[in-house]
Structure 1
Amino acid sequence: MAATYSISDLARELDITTRAIRFYEEQGMLSPERRGQERIYSAKDKVTLKLILRGKRIGFSLAECKELIELYDPSHGNRKQLETFMDKIAERRDQLQQQLLDIQQMQLELDTAEERCLIALAETDKKQSVNS
Structure 2
Amino acid sequence: MSAASDGHVAIVIVSHSSLVAQGAADMVRQMVGDEVAVAHVGGDPGGGLGTDVAAIRAAIEAVWRPAGVAVLVDLGGAETNSEMAIEMLDAEKGARVVICNAPIVEGAVMAATEAAGGADLEAVRATAEEFQS
Q: TM-score range by the shorter chain?
A: 0.3 to 0.5
TM-score by length of structure 1 reads 0.33
TM-score by length of structure 2 reads 0.33
Greater strand share, structure number: 2
